[in-house]
Amino acid sequence: MASKRTADGGRAQIIEAARCLFAGNGFHQTNMAELAARASVSVGQIYRLYAHKTDIIAAIIQIDADQRLAELQVISDAALSKAMPIRDAFEELARTVLNQGGEALTFQILAEGHRDANVAAVIARLCERYRELLRGMALLANDSLEGDRLACAGEILLSCLFGLGNRELSRPDLSVDDTARLAADFFLAALR
């Protein structure tokens, strides 16, 4: 396939193609030639941008997390500025992760995190940013939280949101809206 050059050197096309192929066929079953064909760039160009296939995984994690964290930051800022009650902010937070999709790719990425130290480090750094944001929201719900109790609130909120965001395979009966609404009540009761 003829290669197309764009301002970003084909980065966006490569990432988009990698998302589809990794999610559908798996990370290890996808080779650079397939990826190049799907992205309409040359194999050489992929290697110039991403020395290893795991660098593409790391880039996908970073892009998705930056976008997700930006969405959650908007909700958190609205709560911090009192523009949104903290209960509604938790509901919105839960709804955002429940609607996120992309579970198939997430599990591919997490499986790879266990094999590649760089991918694991990217995941660990991002989790720390999530925890910080969630600790801030926990403090809005209860400003007397501190020390281990505050750390644990962040930890449990992170675990719960991770679980809620990856429940496609568990075939839940409850709708996204019901779950988000009741999750917010649950979080608030737990934190106060």
Applying CB under 8 A, the residues found at the interface with a second copy are: 23-24, 26-29, 103-104, 107-108, 110-111, 113-115, 120, 123-124, 127-128, 148-149, 151-153, 155-156, 158-164, 166-167, 169-174, 178-179, 182-183, 186-187, 189-192
CB of 18 to a second copy, least distance (A): 15
CB of 37 to a second copy, least distance (A): 20
- Name the 3-class secondary structure at 45: helix
86 burial type by CB count under 10 A (0-12 exposed, 13-18 middle, 19+ buried): buried
Residue placing its CB nearer to a second copy in the complex, 55 or 155: 155
Residue placing its CB nearer to a second copy in the complex, 49 or 127: 127
Cα(154)–Cα(159) distance, rounded to whole angstroms?
Answer: 9
Cα(10)–Cα(183) distance, rounded to whole angstroms?
Answer: 41
Residue placing its CB nearer to a second copy in the complex, 48 or 192: 192
Q: Under a CB-based contact definition with an 8 Å cutoff, are residues 137 and 90 in contact?
A: yes
